[in-house]
Structure 1
């Protein structure tokens, strides 16, 4: 990771959907998400377009609800393991929405959000787990408050509202790669 809080193995694409983190708040949570646009379709540019604020909401019927949506993640890991970074880690990406961890609301303030290209009910690729594990180790070196107990799914911080990364995500396998 470089001094600009960009992962060295990432392609960087600057999202306009971020802001400064509140002062004196440590980055102490890693949130794992999943995304595919349209659902279950991979390798398309729609995720990029969403995070960059230029998605064509007429490109697919499922995109109608995305009009005006301003969201981002720090990182996207594609099915082939490619890493794309949209927001530097020291900035506040808009990935968690209404959320709470251990009684503390607004998880965007103190978390890093990583999206896996996928969906709740399809197995993730082994290269995604390997890439996620390598990235996690780098993040934990830079942000030591992110312990294994502070790595969660979106569903853990927004229960009832979010289900990702879903039942298909193999937490045991992932944690075995970062131990």
Structure 2
């Protein structure tokens, strides 16, 4: 099933969300013809792991990370990835890729009977560590963003990276309060794993 391009609104212009800070990533591609953008994938990330507030995540998603700045970075040297959105601990929202395009966030994945989740999903990274708790500001921003995505895109599923790539990934992990988020976003039970 193919959907027409999202019409410009006060919130959305060419897949860019007005309330977000825009920081373009080169790590994206076109979605396959007929892709139905009906899945949100929630991730967690911090660089170096467990450290918050620095520019490293943005630098990674824009291919500007100094690989020699921290010993951990040697493990991810040369990685070219992105997400559509990144929500910092204080709720600040950054967008790296138009929601109309395919960000490189899920890798080898499958969900709701479809492989390659990057093709038809929107990736949202929360600043955090799998197993850690997330802030109230992050839950509020995530719920608002998901509600606003639900208008122009036929969102019908919300899952964690751990659900779409269970053998490889564990984020956002047990620290993410799915029930709390579900109440905030007010989506039906059928949307969730």
TM-score, normalized by the shorter chain, greater than 0.5 = yes
The 3-state SS of whatever aligns with 1:174 is helix
Cα distance in 2 for partners of 1:44, 1:4 equals 29
Q: Which has the higher contact order (CA 8 A, sep 6+)?
A: 1
Residue in structure 2 matched with residue 155 of structure 1 by the alignment: 162
Structure 1 residue 62 and structure 2 residue 62: aligned? no
Cα distance in 2 for partners of 1:132, 1:170 equals 12
Instruction: Structure 2: give runs of 5+ residues left out of the alignment.
Output: 1-10, 187-193
Cα distance in 1 for partners of 2:115, 2:132 equals 30
Cα distance in 2 for partners of 1:136, 1:32 equals 10
Equivalent residues in 2 for 1:112-127, closer than 5 Å: 112-127=122-137
Residue in structure 1 matched with residue 84 of structure 2 by the alignment: 74
Instruction: Structure 1: give runs of 5+ residues left out of the alignment.
Output: none
Cα distance in 1 for partners of 2:81, 2:53 equals 19
Cα distance in 2 for partners of 1:102, 1:48 equals 30
Cα distance in 1 for partners of 2:172, 2:110 equals 17
The 3-state SS of whatever aligns with 2:138 is helix
TM-score by length of 1: 0.96
Equivalent residues in 2 for 1:11-50, closer than 5 Å: 11-50=21-60
TM-score by length of 2: 0.89
Residue in structure 1 matched with residue 190 of structure 2 by the alignment: none
Residue in structure 1 matched with residue 100 of structure 2 by the alignment: 90
